[in-house]
Every structure is written in structure tokens, then in C-alpha cells.
Amino acid sequence: MTGTIFDIKEFSLHDGPGARTTVFLKGCPLRCRWCHNPEGLKREEQLMVKTARCKSCGRCFMPCEHPECQLFKRCIHACPEGLVEISGKKIEAKELAGILMRNADILNFNNGGITISGGEPLMQWEFVEELIESLDCHTAIETSGYAEKDIFKRIIDKVDYILMDIKLADREEHKKYTGVYNDRILENFEYLKSSGKEYIIRTPLIPGITDTEDNLKQIGEIVGDNPWEKLKYNKMAGLKYPMLGMEYMIK
């Protein structure tokens, strides 16, 4: 099974217990306005240019013959600063597992493991399933909770730890700011509670959107006594938008 990933991050500290390696899967059905991983939104490979340091030398615009560059009409092997890259790499689940397991000794020693994140990893659930089955260590998933019930259940049952977002409690607000209603998410949360799995609910604090008293109170009621973490908004979140030719909607 082939999937598309856009990053692997070693020693991620905020993605579950212990020291972990997090793999980011490409594609997400939501469009949160504040999303800090814009390259995780689209399933397809994308051109990513670190524009801030570009010296406008024009080398990457010269025609080239690399097949991988043709789609983008820009050469990814020409930049002397290494600023032009393709975000998104197709990889077999087993091969990915092999790469991740190279550091199994360190992960185990540090009571950590592998976290599968995104985008929304459940968009590639079959790939995720095969990946988990090939990993011989503690596994975690970072999800928006937006997935079909059966799929959600199927994957949750296979991982050791779940980090799930509840961003907005109000149905309409959720639609307004993320592009989808939260019905599925709340329904999946019910399953998560009954699953017996270790998990944590997270709410990103977006000024004026999710950090309102009202929203936090309502989420608090939904979550009840279960583990809940509020994540501070990172001012650098908009950094990558210009690199993808996109505009960040939060000011």
C-alpha cells in the first residue's frame, strides 16, 4: 500500500508519551483557517519554495529534463540555496515502517514511539493500518476525529494512544472556521471514550475563534473529566503559506 507523506520529524516532544518520531501524512478534509501545516491539506504533491531567502537568480526557472520537475515547470534540483522542493513523497507502508524502525532502540529507551500525524491521517486509513501493523513499538495517532465511524474505530483499535482535536463546540462555527460540521467528530469522540484506549483531547487556542470563554466552556462540558489540553497558538503558524503560494487567513 502506497501513501503520501510530507515530513518525518525526529524527537517530537509534544506528540504523545516519551520521545517520538512523528510522520506527517498528506491530505486533510478540513480547512481550518489557522492550520499551521498548509502542505498537509492537499493529497497531491506540491511545489514548495522557501521564498524568504530567494535571491531571484532565476536558475530554478531554466527548463530542465528531470521528469519530476515537469509538472511544476520549475526545476527542483537547481537552486543553489536549496529553496525549491516538492512537498509530498509517495512511499510504501512497509518501507516507511523500515525507515521509522531504524531508531526503534532510541524510541524504546525513551519510552516513546511513532506518532502518525498530518493533515488528517485517517484520509489514508488503509495506508495507516498497514503502517501500524508493520511498526514494532508504541504507536500514536494525531487526528481531527473527522472520519467515517467504522474507519475511525478500526484504526483507533489498533493504536496505543490517540491525540484528538475538538476545536469548536458549536456546529455552525465549526463549519464556518474548518469547512465541516463537527457531528462526526463528536460522535467519534463518544466511541473514543468507550474504547478503553489512552487518549488526550486537544484544543488549539486561536485568538477570537476557539479561545472564547463560551467555546472553551462548551468543550469543557463535552470532554468532562477526560484528559484535555489547550494548545497555545504559535505565532509562526502562517510561515509556510507563502512557500506554497497560498494566503494565510489569520492576521
In this chain, which of 81, 105, 157, 190 binds ligand SF4, going by CB under 6 A? 81
Task: Count interface residues toward another protein (CB under 8 A).
Answer: 24
Largest CA distance in the chain: 59
CA gap 127, 129 in Å, rounded: 5
The verdict on 149 binding another protein (CB under 8 A) reads: no
Q: What angle do CA 8, 12, 16 make, to 5 degrees?
A: 115
Q: How far apart are the first and last CA of the chain?
A: 40
Angle at which helices 149-156 and 125-134 cross, to 10° = 10
Q: Which amino acid is at 250?
A: I
- HSE, CB side, 13 Å, CA atoms: give it for residue 241: 14
In the complex, minimum distance from the CB of residue 110 to ligand SF4, in angstroms, rounded to a whole number? 26
Binding track over 108-127 against another protein, x by CB under 8 A: -xxxx---------------
In this chain, which of 82, 220, 227, 245 binds another protein, going by CB under 8 A? 82
The verdict on 80 binding another protein (CB under 8 A) reads: yes
Per CB under 6 A, contacts with ligand SF4 among 164-183 are 178
Per CB under 6 A, contacts with ligand SF4 among 31-50 are 31-32, 35, 37, 40-41, 49
In this chain, which of 5, 6, 15, 21 binds another protein, going by CB under 8 A? 21
Partner interacting with residue 28 (select from ligand SF4, another protein, none; CB below 5-8 Å by kind): ligand SF4
Angstrom CA distances, 114 to 110, 117, 220, 229, 251, stand at 12, 10, 29, 20, 33
Give whichever of 47 and 137 is closer to ligand SF4, judged by the CB atom.
47
Class of residue 64 by CB neighbours under 10 A (exposed 0-12, middle 13-18, buried 19+) = middle
Binding site for ligand SF4 (CB under 6 A): 28, 30-32, 35, 37, 40-41, 49, 54-60, 78-79, 81, 83-84, 118-120, 144, 178
